Amino acid sequence: MKQITIEISSKDKNKRLDKFLKEYQAIPFALIQKLIRTKDIRVNGARTSCSYLLQEQDIISIKYVVSQMPLTKRKPNENLKNSLSDVVKQRILFMDSYILAIDKPYDIAVQGGNKIKISIDDILPELKFEYDEAPKLVHRLDRHTSGLLILARTKEIAQIIMKLFQEKQIQKKYIALVTGKPKEDSGILKMYIKKNTFGNVEKMSEDSDGKESITEYRVIQNFSDKASLVEFSPITGRMHQIRIHASECLNCPIIGDIKYGGKKSTPPILSNCNKLHLAAIEIFIPNIHGKKYHIECPVPEHIQESIDELTKLFH
């Protein structure tokens, strides 16, 4: 089968394979990750992982079926970059010589992909401050999930943090406003989930061939039996994990989550159900060169407005 090849130069050394390829507009990021998993994208002729760190003179091969369009460098609009950069700089929660913590706005993607005009990844060079190198992404939030996003300020720190994530030593907490009232006030949610296609929609669903997903939860506050404020602590890091656990395990979909909750996710008692009511609000990092971190993020405005509205209705 025909294919194209890309040889890695010194300037791209130590970049993740998927992040390197996502810079090319012809291949959406989600498709890149899928094609790496299905062996349609290889490095030096061998199957590899999305997180593989490229080395100088590595040869990436891409099957012809993926590469019929010319590979062109994705160039975000400069006005969009400047605007997002200004917003993010105003939303810095914490910064030291190792990490940068930001409050990611709602509806802003962390990385580029199909139909994404601008992302946090695009403005990393604007967040160097006194450093010569741009900060690095070490984890992701969904586009419609607001809140706490950690950036590593150097490659060395990025490697440390990513290893801590892999070893499940970093703890993250999210809050969500869900419909209904969970039967139990706390517990552990487990499912085997996998991305499947339903008509024209791709989403995670329960599947015995999928990967195990585990989330701890506790109810912070009930608003009668109509809605609940819930804290979620993911043990694993699967795509849309909290959203599917809320909908399928608790039978309490997150407000605004049409994809997993359908009409049930838009209760008529609330005036603003258009936005996903899920946010990353807290992170614990146990050890970066002997330093511990506990960083918190404020509740997003749209979630707080709904909490206030429910409080008036039921208290």
Question: Which are the catalytic amino acids?
Answer: 142
Exposed, middle or buried by CB within 10 Å (0-12, 13-18, 19+), for 300?
A: buried
**Integer Cα distance of 285 and 164 in angstroms:** 8
- Kindly list the distances between the CA atom of residue 151 and the CA atoms of 89, 119, 124, 160, in Å, as whole numbers in the listed order: 13, 14, 9, 12
- In angstroms, the CA 123 to CA 313 distance is 42
Contact assessment for residue 269 and residue 313, using Cβ atoms and an 8 Å cutoff: yes
Rounded Cα distance between 180 and 187, Å, is 16
* CA pair distance 161, 167, nearest whole angstrom: 10
C-beta separation of 74 from 25 below 8 A? yes
